[in-house]
Chain A
Amino acid sequence: MKGEDLAQRLAAFVAREEGVDAARVQVSNLRRMAGGASREIWSLDLEIEREGGAERLALVLRRDPPGRVGDGGDRALEFGVLRAAFAGGVPVPRVHWGSCDASLLGSPFFLMERIEGEALPRRLLRDERYAKARAGMAAELGAILARIHALDLRAADLAGLAAPPADRSPARAEVERVAAGIRELAAEPHPVLDLAERWLLQRAPEPARRTLVHGDYRVGNVLFDERGVRAILDWELVHAGDPLEDLGWLCTRAWRFGSPLPAGGVGTRDELVAGYEAASGCGVDREALRFWEAFGSYKLALVFITQSRVYLDGRVRSVELASLGRRTVEAEDELLRFLRGEA
C-alpha cells in the first residue's frame, strides 16, 4: 500500500469512527518512522473539521506489517493495555482509534498520540543536556513501574493477557520456558547456560503478588527529554506475572550500555527500589530482584541464539542477525559473574 493510499484509507476510517463526512478529515505529513521487523510505525498529522472548528492531532500509526501475523504481539490487546495504562496515570501515548479488521489497512493497527522526545539510550546516558533527567530517572522509573503494577488485572481492557501457569511461580515458569527455547534453538552446547539454568531454578522466588508486567521495561523503551521520562513505549510483551521481573530486566547489564550504574545505566538499584517502594507501598525482596536481574541475561542469551538461528536457517540473510550469534557470549559472561558469586 502506497503512502497516499494509506493516508486516504486512514482519513476514511477516522471519519467513520467519528461519524463525520469523509471530506472533513485530512491526513498530512504521513511518513514511515524507524521500527522493527515485527511492526510498522508511521508519523502523521490529522485534521478533523468539526462544527466548532478544526481539531488537529499529531499522531502515530502502529501497524502490523501486512501479511505477517502473530509474532509482534496482539495489536488489540496492546491498544487495551495502553488505554488502561493511560487511565492509571502511567505516562503513555493516549490511544485514539484502532481496528483488527484487515480489510481497512491490510493488518491490525491503531492510532495514538505522538509525544515528542528522544529515545536513543546512548544520548540519554552520554549527552550533557540530559544530565538532569538522568539524575532523577532511576527513582522516576521505579515510581512509574509502581503505577504499571497497580493496574487492575481484571479490567476488561486487560482480558486476554498472557499469564504464567497457576501451579508454578512465574519465575520458575519463565526459566523453564527460556531453557526449552535454548535447547530447541542453540546450534552448539552452552555449558554456562546449563549451569545458569540450575542456579536460577534453585533461586526462583515465589511472587509477593501477581501483577501486570510490562515485559520490556528498559531505557531503550523510554521516551525522554531534558525534564525526564515523557512516555513508556513498546508494550507488545506485556503479560501477567511477578512484578520484580520488570525491575530485574531494567537492571540487566546489556541495558546499561557500558554505564557503571546498574539501573538502566542511569542510577543505582537503591534509587530504583526506593522510588518503587515509595510509590507502591510494596517492599522489594532484594534476593528476588537479584534472581530477576540474572534471569535477564539468561533470557537475553536466548534472544541472541534465536536471532542468529533466523540467519542460520536462511530465513533472513541479514549481516546483523548473523553477528548477534556472537553476542551470546556477553550474556554468558554476565551469568558467570552471578555463578561465581560476584554479582
Chain B
Amino acid sequence: MNDRPTAAELLDAVERFLEESVVPALDGPARFHARVAANVVRIVAREIATEETHLAREWDGLSVLLGAEGEPPPDGRAALRESILARNEELARRIRAGDADSGVWRTALLAHLSRTIADKLDVAQPRKPPQAAHSEAKPSDAR
C-alpha cells in the first residue's frame, strides 16, 4: 500500500495546479487544452472513486440478462473488466440477432443499459468539457 497522499489527493493537486496556475497563464488554444486537461483529471478522479461499485453493478446486471446468475465475478479489477467486456460482446451479439426487439428481455435490457449509462455519465460529466469556438465536436470526421 502506497503512502499518502492517495491517488485521489494527488490528482486533486494536479487539477488545482491546472485550473489555478496554468489556465490563467495561457490564452487561445493552449488555455482551452489546459481546461480540457483539468476536466480529464476530474474524470479520472471520479472513475477511481466509483469504479468498484460501477463494475460490480454492471457485472450483476449482465449476469441476470445472460442467465449467468451465481457465477462469481473474477478476482482482480483487470480480470473483472475483461469479463465485462466479453459479456458486453455477447450482449451486443444477442441484440444484433434480434433477441431484444421486443418482450420482457428488452425491458430488462433497457433497465440495465439505463443504469450502466447513468453510472458512466456520472464519471464523464458532472461538468462537461468547456466549449470554444475553435474546438467543437465536428461531424466532419464521421462522413
Chain A interface residues (CB < 8 Å from chain B): 34-36, 38, 71-73, 119-122, 178, 181, 188-192, 194-195, 198, 215-216, 220, 236-237, 254, 257, 299-300, 302-304, 306-307, 310, 318-320, 322-324, 326-327, 329-330, 332-333, 336, 339-340
Contacts A189-B92, A307-B141, A324-B137 given; indicate if A195 touches B36 (C-beta within 8 A). Answer: no
Interface pair A220/B121, CB less than 8 Å apart: no
Residues in chain B near residue A323, CB distance under 8 A: 36, 39-40, 43, 129
Cβ of B31 within 8 Å of any chain A Cβ, yes or no, is: no
Interface pair B131/A188, CB less than 8 Å apart: no
Interface pair A327/B124, CB less than 8 Å apart: yes
Measured in the bound complex, the distance between the Cα atoms of B143 and A300 in whole Å is: 11
Contacts A319-B37, A329-B121 given; indicate if A195 touches B100 (C-beta within 8 A). Answer: yes
Size band of the B side of the interface? 35 or more
Contacts A299-B139, A303-B139, A319-B36 given; indicate if A329 touches B117 (C-beta within 8 A). Answer: yes
Closest CB in chain B relative to A68 CB, distance in Å: 12
Measured in the bound complex, the distance between the Cα atoms of B113 and A194 in whole Å is: 12
Chain B interface residues (CB < 8 Å from chain A): 32-33, 36-37, 39-40, 43, 85, 88-89, 91-92, 95-96, 98, 100-101, 109-110, 113-114, 117-118, 120-121, 123-125, 128-129, 131-143
Measured in the bound complex, the distance between the Cα atoms of B43 and A340 in whole Å is: 27
Contact of A192 among B117, B131, B135, B136 (CB under 8 A): B117
Contacts A189-B89, A323-B36, A329-B121 given; indicate if A36 touches B140 (C-beta within 8 A). Answer: yes
Measured in the bound complex, the distance between the Cα atoms of B43 and A322 in whole Å is: 12
Residues in chain A near residue B101, CB distance under 8 A: 198
Interface pair B88/A303, CB less than 8 Å apart: no
How many pairs of residues, A versus B, come closer than 8 Å at their CB atoms? Answer: 119
Interface pair A326/B43, CB less than 8 Å apart: yes
Contact of A322 among B40, B100, B123, B131 (CB under 8 A): B40
Contact of B95 among A34, A38, A198, A322 (CB under 8 A): A198
Residues in chain A near residue B96, CB distance under 8 A: 194, 198
Interface pair B124/A299, CB less than 8 Å apart: no
Q: Beyond A319-B33, A336-B117: 15 further Cβ-contacts under 8 Å?
A: A188-B85, A190-B92, A191-B88, A194-B95, A198-B95, A236-B140, A237-B140, A237-B143, A257-B131, A299-B142, A300-B139, A307-B137, A319-B36, A327-B128, A327-B129
Measured in the bound complex, the distance between the Cα atoms of B32 and A178 in whole Å is: 29
Closest CB in chain B relative to A196 CB, distance in Å: 10
Residues in chain B near residue A327, CB distance under 8 A: 124, 128-129, 137
Identify the interface centre among B36, B118, B132: most chain A CB within 10 Å of its CB: B36
